[in-house]
Amino acid sequence: MQPIVYTIEKPDIAKWLERLLETAEVIAPVAGYSGEVVFSAISSPAQVLWDFENPLHPAKQFVLPQTDPIVAIKRNGQRHEVEPIYDDSRRVLFNVRSCDVKGIAFLTRMQEMEPADGSYLRRAYSLTVISLTCNTPCPLGFCVCTDSGPFLNGDYDIQLTDLGGKYLAEVGSEKGEAAVSNAANLFRTATEGEVSLRKRLETAARNRFGQETCHFASAMRRISTGRVQDALWEKISDWCLECGGCSLICPTCYCFSVRDRARDGNWIRYRIWDSCQYTAFTLEASGHNPHEQRKDRIKRRFFHKVSAQYYMRDGTVGCVGCGRCIKVCLGTADMPAVVAAIRKGKWHE
Amino acid sequence: MLTVPTTCPFCACGCGFYLLANKGELVGVAPSETHPVSRGRLCARGWGAHEAPLWGTRLREPLVKRNGRLEPVSWAEALDHVTGRIKGLIEAGKSVGVLGSPRATNEENYLAGKLARAGLETNDVDFSYHSICRPLLAGLEEVTGEYGCSISLDDIELSETIVLIEGDLAKTHPRAAFSVMKAVEKGARLAAIGYARTQMARLSSLYLQTVPGGEGEVINGLLAGVLHASLEDRTSATAHCEGYEALRRDLTAVKATKEMHRAAEWIARAERATFLIPPTSAQGDQLRKDAAAFVTLAAITGHLGRPGSGLLMLLGRSNVRGACDMGVAPDRLPGYQPFYDGRAQQRLQGLWGKKLPSAQGLDAESLLQSVSGLIVLADDPPSVLPMRQQALAAMERMEYIVVLDAFVTPTVRAAHVALPIASFAETEGTLTSMEGRVQRVRAITDPPGEARTGWQVLAELCARFEVSASYSSATDVLREIAQAAPRYAGIGQQMLEEGWGGTLDEDFDTGKRVLHAAGVTAQTSPERPHLLAWDGVFDWGRDPLISFSPTLSRDYQSQRKLFPHGFVEMCPQDADELGMRPGWQVKLTSLRGAAVVPIQVRTDLTPGVLLVPYAFREHVAKVLGVERLTAVKAERA
């Protein structure tokens, strides 16, 4: 839909949040333990942070939890009954950053592909995403390289931009419209001047990016045409400690494993986060493992993330430039470092 | 969603993260950027830390063995049973021992020690993993008079030279491996001493290849390299060290290779150098000597006590350090003071209101063979001690075993009474990392079923054995620890101020060093040219996700299923010489006996070395006997 653009005065934000809290669980970045920024359900508007660096644990946990019950298996005489478990409680994700918005949109696109994942989709469709643009990019972010920030043109339900004394609120969906109409008296239609201020802020933010860059295009050419030497993957693999952090933390990674848990004579099947970087990820029942060597698993990961084959299918690279993998990598094999290595054909030289 | 900051329960690096719970159930782990050790970077174990309490086989209610079966009973009944039977044994003049655990908190270990010494009046208290790391600690103590570490993981990153006795650091202590990696990235020189070209060996500037048990020889070579080229720090070596002349004498005949000379020069010339040592596969006394020689290398090159330079012992469990500090050792009181130390005894007698036992106790291995009754806190001798079968047999012979554990272990199955306690995710307490950080674990969910927190159960047991133990929280126990082990005195306050935890004061600047060379014994012979060793760097093997007891379960099951007969690893050259392929059976014969096991081929292993993963050690028990490594003849079966 064509975005409808409103503004809301800063003092009115609390009233709006209170309205939202009446009908939904509101999750926002808050100050957690020892001042760390974390996503958490709020009980009062005052908890919400407005000037913050993106939490390390990604917002994808609210559509794809690390441990998620998906199926109940019940015994009924000689038979077993299998019932899906859905979570469609209404949630609002407030003040998420553009990269996480893109990440959730990416995951939803993947899960909508046939066969569609009902468990994921019911939860995602019940979620309203209200984002806050980044007037100042975060130090390690490189979302300009992945078309996922600092400002977005879509994929959000509402996108807020700090204009000084007020916020610009771009509504991008019916869910977003509903969240505004819930407190219609607090919003007014934005003026042309306000919209052009937002554009100027976006340009300014784009010009303010930090050290991290990630030139996907040339890396994509090389990896898609098999021009990355095996020896390079082998070198990179010595600088990875197989923690799996890069994929667990990645807003666009959605691989999972399942595990059953007995409860009162019945079972619950859980979906749990898994990482393609773990040895047993592709271990087959026969004992054969097509990706037994770490270099093969790293190659596989970056092929999925960066190759033209997947770009054509997914419409984007599998990265939103949030920079989280740089912070969690227990090694030196984060996305920008590996993309640079693919591009240059060199690693630590 | 509930978010609670806590400390990783696995290796001794002491990383921290948040546990996440939803509706009273654990759901995940979130990294923390503010944690001073991990800063948001976790290994696979840390990322999966919630899985153990969630998916592990948990003890849910007190159990008492009747007609060979463990049956549920009430807490009152179970505790009465324990009190009655243990008192009966003591009255009958039979001995009762206590095992603590490096995966239990300081508070739990402290109370286990108090129960043993003040309640049961015995020094027969230890923990199984101690048998693996004791020689290492003893070696360090022999040279420095201390057993702690003198540097932090961050110091590694700033080193110019790193000397690593390599088991497989990347797998055993990923957080430490990360620091080494960062240092190497910045240009540090890494000298790795090991028997497999592991990831760290591949990143090293110099790989000093040896065989299991041969580490001492290389250390002596490095010492000789330093002394022969007069690279030692004369001031440190003569003014602060004893035994300098003897060391020179011992090493006159030792030849250093060209590589050793090079490494010696790097060590001596570095402004900052770090020395990393895990328990190797060397035998007890030799490991002690190797460790002492390794510390000597740091001492004579002036790297002990210099800020940013020094030594780190790579301990295999989260709270080895804490268990030692709490006096869970037959010859040590809280504060790791010798059990005969008059002042320590007086302090404890004042605190506990009981006279302490005067005879030295037995270590875990001997204790299992001699006591009639055993109280076990979260320890699992058959899984941890080298001799799995012997430990199981010993426990079968015992008249009475009580186990406090969160998980169903082989020890729980052998017990007469099993008391369910909280896992790290359900209890309050502290763990002491190898750096000497005392950090909190915090409860995020309730313990399952009837389970109670370990410190509460132990306090109740203490009370039943007429030992004062009225605590209203784990913090109360920590307060008492501060009185019993003076080094912990400031910790409570630091906890309040710093959030994640406090750091013990290490005193490495003063005191005499006593220098030692390593003792070296030849292992192989023409009749038995191969060397069979267990992969002893980490008692749960190289697999980062393998379980130690059922506390970390992903992958472990699949390994067991895939290799029901276990395996030994050998290099391709050895396999070719024997005309063998992966999966084929090899017959191994030592002086003690023979066994037939399948092989796996591993390209990075030193020729002549056969490695058996710790989890599969029972398959070669007949060949190894009580040894950790032995010379064998290998032939196709």
Of all residues in chain A, the one with the smallest CA distance to B172 is: A241
A65 vs B27: CB contact, 8 Å cut-off? yes
What's the token pair of residue B328?
């869970």
* pLDDT at B306 (0 to 100): 83
Kindly report the backbone phi and psi dihedral angles of residue B45, in degrees, each rounded to the nearest multiple of 5, phi listed first.
-65, -45
Residue numbers in A near B29 (CB within 8 A) = 66
Q: How confident is the model at residue B385 (pLDDT cuts 50, 70, 90)?
A: confident
Residues B374 and B251 in one domain: no
Instruction: Tell me, yes or no, whether B516 lies in a domain.
Output: no
d(CA B634, CA B588): 5
Strands B530-534 and B609-612: parallel
What's the token pair of residue A346?
């060199």
Of all residues in chain A, the one with the smallest CA distance to B29 is: A66
Q: What pairs with residue B589 in β-bridges?
A: B594, B633
* pLDDT at B511 (0 to 100): 63
A34 vs B499: CB contact, 8 Å cut-off? yes
Which residues does B273 contact at the CB level (< 8 Å), separation at least 6?
B159, B160, B161, B162, B163, B266, B267, B298, B301, B303, B309
Instruction: Tell me, yes or no, whether B185 lies in a domain.
Output: yes
Of A34, A68, A348, the CB nearest to B34: A34
- Best A33, A70, A247 member to test B by mutation, with max B CBs in 10 Å, is A33
Residue numbers in B near A331 (CB within 8 A) = 178, 181
Q: Is the dihedral of CA B580, B581, B587, B592 positive or negative?
A: positive
H or E stretch covering A82: strand A79-84
CA distance B202 to chain A (A): 8
H or E stretch covering B131: helix B130-144
* Cβ–Cβ contact A10 with B under 8 A: no
d(CA B199, CA A68): 35
Is-contact B463 B455, C-beta < 8 A? no
Instruction: Tell me, yes or no, whether B510 lies in a domain.
Output: no
**Position of tokens 């490991």?**
B287
Closest-CA residue to B614 (of B211, B80, B212): B212
d(CA B495, CA B106): 14
* Cβ–Cβ contact A32 with B under 8 A: yes
* Cβ–Cβ contact A280 with B under 8 A: yes
**Position of tokens 């017959």?**
B587
d(CA B499, CA B439): 9
A65 vs B30: CB contact, 8 Å cut-off? no
Instruction: Tell me, yes or no, whether B520 lies in a domain.
Output: no
Q: Which of B279, B313, B347 is the last residue of a domain?
A: B313
Of all residues in chain B, the one with the smallest CA distance to A59 is: B30
- Which ranges of B168-283 would DSSP assign to H, the alpha helix? 169-172, 174-185, 199-203, 215-228, 234, 244-251, 258-269
Is-contact A218 A343, C-beta < 8 A? yes
Q: Strand, helix or coil at A302?
A: helix
Instruction: Tell me, yes or no, whether B512 lies in a domain.
Output: no
Of all residues in chain A, the one with the smallest CA distance to B168 is: A241
* Cβ–Cβ contact A59 with B under 8 A: no
Residue numbers in A near B18 (CB within 8 A) = 32-33, 38, 57
Q: How many residues comprise chain A? A: 349
Of all residues in chain B, the one with the smallest CA distance to A273 is: B28
A67 vs B43: CB contact, 8 Å cut-off? no
How big is the CA angle at A201 (ends A195 and A206), to the nearest 5 degrees? 130
Residue numbers in B near A245 (CB within 8 A) = 31, 41-42, 47
Which residues does B2 contact at the CB level (< 8 Å), separation at least 6?
B20, B21, B22, B444
Average pLDDT score over residue span B167-182: 93
Residue numbers in B near A242 (CB within 8 A) = 44, 170, 544
Region(s) of chain A under CATH 3.40.640: 4-65+87-206
Per residue in B4-59, pLDDT (tens digit) is 999 999 889 999 999 999 999 999 999 999 999 999 999 988 998 888 888 878 89
CATH code for the domain in which residue B255 is found: 3.40.228.10
Q: Which of B293, B313, B333 is the last residue of a domain?
A: B313
A279 vs B555: CB contact, 8 Å cut-off? yes
Strands B63-66 and B417-420: antiparallel
Residue B497 has pLDDT above 90, yes or no: no
- Best B23, B34, B543 member to test A by mutation, with max A CBs in 10 Å, is B34
Residues B337 and B415 in one domain: yes
Q: Is the dihedral of CA B556, B558, B564, B569 positive or negative?
A: negative
Q: For helices A335-344 and A216-224, what crossing angle results, to 10°?
A: 60
Q: How confident is the model at residue B500 (pLDDT cuts 50, 70, 90)?
A: confident
Q: Is this prediction's pTM over 0.80?
A: yes
Q: How confident is the model at residue B490 (pLDDT cuts 50, 70, 90)?
A: confident
Closest-CA residue to A302 (of A253, A337, A339): A339
CA distance A311 to chain B (A): 29
Strands B96-99 and B25-31: unpaired
* Cβ–Cβ contact A43 with B under 8 A: no
**Position of tokens 């006593």?**
B514
Percent of chain B having pLDDT more than 70? 94
Tell me how crowded residue A236 is: count the other CB atoms within 10 A of its CB: 24
Q: What domain range is B162 assigned to? A: 132-313
**Position of tokens 């790193």?**
B162
H or E stretch covering B586: strand B585-589
Kindly report the backbone phi and psi dihedral angles of residue A90, in degrees, each rounded to the nearest multiple of 5, phi listed first.
-75, 130
Of all residues in chain A, the one with the smallest CA distance to B173 is: A241
What's the token pair of residue B354?
């009981």
Which residues does B158 contact at the CB level (< 8 Å), separation at least 6?
B183, B272, B308
> DSSP character for B346?
H
A40 vs B3: CB contact, 8 Å cut-off? yes
Residues B299 and B159 in one domain: yes
CA distance A280 to chain B (A): 7
- Which ranges of B388-504 would DSSP assign to H, the alpha helix? 388-397, 410-414, 454-464, 474-484, 491-498
> DSSP character for B407?
B
A243 vs B42: CB contact, 8 Å cut-off? yes
Across the A/B interface, how many CB contacts are shorter than 8 Å? 115
* pLDDT at B548 (0 to 100): 37
Give me the number of domains chain B comprises.
4
Instruction: Tell me, yes or no, whether B210 lies in a domain.
Output: yes
Instruction: Tell me, yes or no, whether B509 lies in a domain.
Output: no
Q: How confident is the model at residue A221 (pLDDT cuts 50, 70, 90)?
A: very high
Least confidently predicted of A104-108, A322-326, B181-185, B537-541: B537-541
Per residue in B526-576, pLDDT (tens digit) is 889 999 988 765 444 444 444 333 444 444 445 656 678 889 999 999 999
* pLDDT at B522 (0 to 100): 64
H or E stretch covering B76: helix B75-91
CA distance B621 to chain A (A): 26
Residue numbers in A near B178 (CB within 8 A) = 241, 330-331
* pLDDT at B506 (0 to 100): 65
Residues B465 and B610 in one domain: no
A242 vs B31: CB contact, 8 Å cut-off? no
Residues B292 and B333 in one domain: no
* pLDDT at B553 (0 to 100): 40
Of A35, A328, A331, the CB nearest to B34: A35
Indicate the fold that domain A4-65+87-206 takes in CATH: Aspartate Aminotransferase; domain 2 (3.40.640)
Cβ-based burial of B173 (10 A; exposed 0-12, middle 13-18, buried ≥19): buried
- Which ranges of chain A would DSSP assign to H, the alpha helix? 13-23, 98-112, 118-125, 174-181, 192-206, 216-224, 230-237, 245-249, 294-306, 308-314, 324-328, 335-344
* pLDDT at A280 (0 to 100): 78
Cβ-based burial of A196 (10 A; exposed 0-12, middle 13-18, buried ≥19): exposed
- Best B7, B41, B172 member to test A by mutation, with max A CBs in 10 Å, is B41
Residues B305 and B173 in one domain: yes
Which residues does B573 contact at the CB level (< 8 Å), separation at least 6?
B607
CATH code for the domain in which residue B595 is found: 2.40.40.20
A57 vs B199: CB contact, 8 Å cut-off? no
Residue numbers in A near B25 (CB within 8 A) = 67
Q: What pairs with residue A159 in β-bridges?
A: A131, A170
Of B5, B44, B185, the CB nearest to A243: B44
Residue numbers in A near B181 (CB within 8 A) = 239, 241, 331-332
Residue A258 has pLDDT above 60, yes or no: yes
Of all residues in chain A, the one with the smallest CA distance to B54 is: A261
Residues B99 and B145 in one domain: no
Of A245, A287, A348, the CB nearest to B185: A348
Of A65, A278, A330, the CB nearest to B41: A330
Of A40, A66, A331, the CB nearest to B181: A331
Q: In what order do the strands lie in the sheet with B437-441?
A: B429-432, B437-441, B501-503
* pLDDT at B305 (0 to 100): 76
Q: What ipTM was reported for this prediction?
A: 0.95
Least confidently predicted of A335-349, B253-267, B525-539: B525-539
| Three-class HEC string of B39-73 | CCCCCHHHHCCCHHHHHCCECCCCEEEECCEEEEC
Question: What does R_g of chain B's alpha carbons equal in angstroms?
Answer: 24
CATH code for the domain in which residue B76 is found: 3.40.50.740
Residue B582 has pLDDT above 60, yes or no: yes
B41 vs A40: CB contact, 8 Å cut-off? no
**Maximum Cα–Cα distance across chain B:** 71
Q: How confident is the model at residue A202 (pLDDT cuts 50, 70, 90)?
A: very high
Q: Strand, helix or coil at B247?
A: helix
- Best B19, B27, B559 member to test A by mutation, with max A CBs in 10 Å, is B27
Question: How many Å separate Cα B116 from the centre of its chain?
Answer: 22
d(CA B397, CA B352): 33
Which residues does A303 contact at the CB level (< 8 Å), separation at least 6?
A223, A309, A310
d(CA A119, CA A53): 31
A57 vs B30: CB contact, 8 Å cut-off? yes
Residues B281 and B339 in one domain: no
d(CA B564, CA B569): 15
Kindly report the backbone phi and psi dihedral angles of residue B245, in degrees, each rounded to the nearest multiple of 5, phi listed first.
-65, -40
A61 vs B28: CB contact, 8 Å cut-off? yes
CATH code for the domain in which residue B33 is found: 2.20.25.90
Cis peptide before B448 (omega within 30 of 0): no
* Cβ–Cβ contact A287 with B under 8 A: yes
